[in-house]
Amino acid sequence: MHARSPRLVGAGVAFKPMYFDALLGDPQRVDFIEIHAENYFGAGGVLHAQLAALREQMPLSVHGVGLSIGGSAPLDKGHMQRLKHLCERYEPMLVSEHLAWSAHAGEYLGDLLPVAYHAQSLERVAAHVQQLQDVLGRQVLIENPATYLRLAESELTEAEFIRQLCQSTGCGILLDLNNLLVSCHNCADDPLKYLAELPSDQVLELHLAGHARVQHADRELLVDEHGSEIADATWGLYAEWLAYAGARPCLIEWDRHLPSWSVLAAEVDCARTLQCTPLMLPRDCGWGTA
């Protein structure tokens, strides 16, 4: 039996070194921080010194981006051992990975690529998730991806695939509401129907991020880019989730075109306020975008 991730609430930020002084100076300003695991696979340096100082003041979530859980190749044992060492060093409250593949023939491709949702891929992904949980000795959360098209060989919806993955492995879900909105817009699906199909009790963390609108031929695509303010539509979906299933630890993801600390902290405030009053709109809690 793997240690189950705790049920927490609050709002946090994806840690970037430029925010170190602000966070250390006022550690109560956020409820937790999240890091990309692979940035901390080295043994020391400034990044680890900063993380160690912050970890003494606040909880930590570790988010992996390079293990290629959805790939056909065996998982990289060295990668898993480095992740295990990182978790033993900092004892994070949550550990997560993506429902995607990102490597082939030993080469890292630098992107999160889609998985076909059918029985064979479910068996493969479940085996990878179980292997990772066995190595870490703890429950892992799996994040829904941003998608731009449906793969013709898919036989299950994404929500049903994730539901069955949770049932077979005991893993949890990192529900990225921006990714969900992006995928449903691009594939003409209903985000509320998707939410209703998920096992809500297995959702242990939420992500909120910005997206871009791109005109492609005769249609508009949403692109998950983590480089802008959270759109009102995403805040609205967050409020729908809160009213439906209640608060979870919620991360504000901003990885490109990084804003000032005051802008990022204001998004944390909005997420916290909505946890208390989910029917409020973003503008009602002092922040919002057109």
What residue ranges of the chain have pLDDT lower than 70? 1, 6-7, 103-111, 278-290
Euclidean distance between CA atoms 178 and 237, whole angstroms:
9
Tokens 């995607």 correspond to: 100
Quote the pLDDT of residue 288.
Answer: 37
Quote the pLDDT of residue 290.
Answer: 30
Task: Report pLDDT digits (tens) over 41-97.
Answer: 998 899 999 999 999 999 999 999 889 999 889 999 999 999 999 999 999 999 999
Strand, coil or helix: 274: helix
Q: What is the DSSP string of 38-88?
A: GGG-SS-SHHHHHHHHHHTTS-EEEE--SS-TTSSSPP-HHHHHHHHHHHH
Task: Report pLDDT digits (tens) over 181-208.
Answer: 999 998 889 999 999 999 999 999 999 9
Indicate the class that CATH gives domain 11-285. Answer: alpha beta
Quote the pLDDT of residue 278.
Answer: 63
Question: ∠ at Cα 130 (40, 144), nearest 5°?
Answer: 70
Strand, coil or helix: 269: helix
Quote the pLDDT of residue 285.
Answer: 53
